Amino acid sequence: MKQETIDRIRAFSEDRDWDQFHSPENLAKSIVIEAAELLECFQWSGTEYDAEHVKEELADVMVYTQNLLDKLGLDPDEIVNKKMDQNERKYPIEKAKGSAAKYDQL
């Protein structure tokens, strides 16, 4: 996301004095709640879904994710790259290619 989008997310909460509700725990709850609303778009079918609704729910996940990054003072690139280091070790290309198996079953 661009800096101005991030700034808008931050201003939205600040203007409403919502930082008091944004404990890490509450934001973790919020992310899973929105992720389940996203999943609801695909509850009965993986192929027929309301594309606009998907965008809205995915955006909600992203907003709360940004709130949690902010709350914990995390750098998104740092935590994602660190996790990708792990993923690359857990799923070596020669073993994982074309397989949906979990790393402990490769």
Binding site for a copy of itself (CB under 8 A): 1-2, 5, 8-9, 12, 15-18, 20-21, 23-26, 28-33, 35-47, 49, 51, 54-56, 58-63, 65, 68-69, 72, 74, 76-77, 79-84, 86-88, 91, 93, 96-100
Nearest residue to 33 via CA among 67, 71, 74, 78: 67
Please report how many Cα atoms fall inside a 13 Å half-sphere around the Cα of residue 77, on the Cβ side: 1
- Is 55:38 a contact under the CB 8 Å cutoff? no
- Is 64:27 a contact under the CB 8 Å cutoff? yes
